[in-house]
Structure 1
Amino acid sequence: MSERAWPEVGELVVCTVRDVKDFAAFVSLDEYGDREGLIPISEVATGWIKYIRDHIREGQKVVCKVLYVDRNRAHIDLSLKDVNEHQRREKIREWKNESKAKKWIGFAAKASGEPAENIESALYKKYGDLYSVFEDIATSGEKVLDKTDLSPGVAQALAKVASENVKVPRVTVSGNLVLTSTKPDGVNIIRRALRSAEPKIHDADIEILYVGAPIYRIKVTAPDYKKAEKAIEKAASAAIGVVERAGGEGKFVKKPKSGKAA
């Protein structure tokens, strides 16, 4: 989605069906100030169409591909059949996210006293969309807004809204540490090793769980797999290093990816 007043040819747009005729369907483009578009019957569905209303109806939300734009005549041709199910789902998800972001900007505008259109313009200029801004703020804090033209007051208001409304995606990876030591003080060596396996890593939560000697579970939760796997490797290496330097043995067996954490 963008700040442009007109869509580009090839772009996917969310539309509301306003009127269905025997030869075409007339729609409004939800993201472009309800500009009107036309879906010819040949672009409604593949194959021969006997009754157009078997495929499209008034009030329906549809995702279309832009085929032609004539700004002078204010005319937009669209295709419904050229959009597959995956594209439709992704576009609807994006549109819903942008709609939520616009509402959140309204909250920030009210809190900061800055007009919502000014905030939107500054964010579009930097990001090209709105929802990803809130994801970045929720993940990295309001410092991501330093390169925009927004005042500190607006940045703080946006950060507050992001913290209250955006759930930062998290993933979890885990694995087993196998630590053994035959030294008389082996228990203390293992304890030191496990303490070293919980380094402070930004945005990563590390948890050590006792499975049953000599096996200990490491679980790491982070914003993405790359960061989570880097953190778990660092934690495991630290623990194994302590044990090996004390004459013991250690190894790490990583479990398959477990998906997003709650």
Structure 2
Amino acid sequence: MDLDEVRPGEHIVCKIDKIYPYGVTVTLEEYPGLAGFVPLSQIANRWIKNIRNFVRPGQIKVGVVLSINRERKQIDVSFSRMNTINERKKMISWRETKRSQQLLSVLAKDMKKEQDEIWNDLVPKILEKYNSVTEAFKVMLEFGKDGVKEIPEQYREALYKVVSRSMTITKKEIIENVELRITTGAGLIEIKKLFKEMPENKGVEQKISYLGGGKYQLKFVSNGYKTIEKHIKNVNDYLIAKVGKNGDLNIKRRE
């Protein structure tokens, strides 16, 4: 990596290398081959009696680039100027980037291609729409191999297999309580038929429970809220159209 790629003020992930009484040397995890130095005065926002009470070899921390001395090839970094919120955001972003790189490495191996070729073919296109590669992978996991149109078609099936076996998404659920009464014909039979013919979505699990007194619970479960919301709209439109003037319908979402 070149020093020109590093910018003053940038938040960077550092790994503690050597500890001295006057500061610590660090490796820059996002810039292979580059190292930095954190002066004692930039370790913490309070008086330091023993520097080893604040850092330890191998520890991962987020710092702010203070200055870059290109003649000496030295990057000065501060830990004390990094607040907790920004540190957490940076760590999450860094871990997601590492994970994405690992998955693309697996994809390259599966497709017998060079990793740089995979990266150049996929990442620029993905980042035109998504904030991160991981975000695009999550969308693909939710909507299937064709869920991310920015990914060239020749990669979709193989990438979807890699993502599916390597990533998981916490299931989301939405519950609606439905009060339903049919005033024409054989009411109960009509209600059973109504629910039996209710729209389905292969990406959404749905369960209907009878609560008694003309009340029903509809539970919808999927990988993402957008998928559920779209399906619920179809279900509610269907119920409203079918019940119409033939009965009473009240739909409430459970908070």
Is the TM-score greater than 0.5?
yes
Partner of 1:24: 23
**Matched AA of 1:156:** E
Partner-residue secondary structure (3-state), 1:103: helix
The answer as to whether partners of 2:142 and 2:224 remain within 8 angstroms in 1 is: no
Match of 2:211 in 1: 211
In structure 2, runs of 5+ residues without a counterpart are none
Equivalence for 2:166: 165
Give, in whole Å, the separation in 2 of the partners of 1:151 and 1:254.
Answer: 39
Q: Is residue 203–residue 222 contact of structure 1 (8 Å, CA) maintained in 2?
A: yes
Deviations 1:144-191 (A, max 9, x none): 66545x671x44322210121122343111021001134341112212
Aligned partner of 2:225 in structure 1 is 225
The Cα offsets for residues 182-222 of structure 1, whole Å up to 9 and x where unpaired, read as 434111221233235x3234743332222223011011223
- Alignment correspondent of 2:142: 139
User: Which residue of structure 2 lines up, in the alignment, with residue 193 of structure 1?
Assistant: 194
Displacement, 1:255? 0.4
**What is the TM-score of this pair, normalised by structure 2?**
0.84
Give the partner amino acid of 2:24: A
Partner of 1:127: 126
Deviating more after overlay: 215-224 vs 131-140: 131-140
> Shift in Å at residue 227 of structure 1?
4.1
* Structure 1: distance between partners of 2:106 and 2:4: 24
The amino acid of 1:131's aligned partner reads T
Residue type at the aligned position of 1:214: G
Residue 98 of structure 1: how far off its partner (Å): 2.3
- 1:29-44 alignment to 2 at 5 Å? 29-44=28-43
**Number of matched pairs:** 249
CA contact (8 A) 2:44 2:80 kept: yes
TM-score, normalised via structure 1 length: 0.82
Return the offset for 1:226: 4.3
Distance between the aligned counterparts of 1:135 and 1:9, measured in 2? Answer: 32
For structure 1, the 5+ residue unaligned runs are: 257-262
The answer to whether the 8 A contact 1:177-1:236 is kept is: no
Give the AA of the match of 2:146: K
Q: In the aligned structure 2, how far is the partner of 1:7 from the partner of 1:132? A: 25
RMSD of the TM alignment (CA)? 2.7
Query: Against the structure 1 CA distance between its residues 213 and 103, is the aligned structure 2 distance closer, same or farther, given a 3 Å change threshold?
Result: same
Cα distance change, pair 213–193 in 1 and its aligned pair in 2 (3 A): farther
* Contact 1:218–1:232, Cα closer than 8 Å, also in 2: no
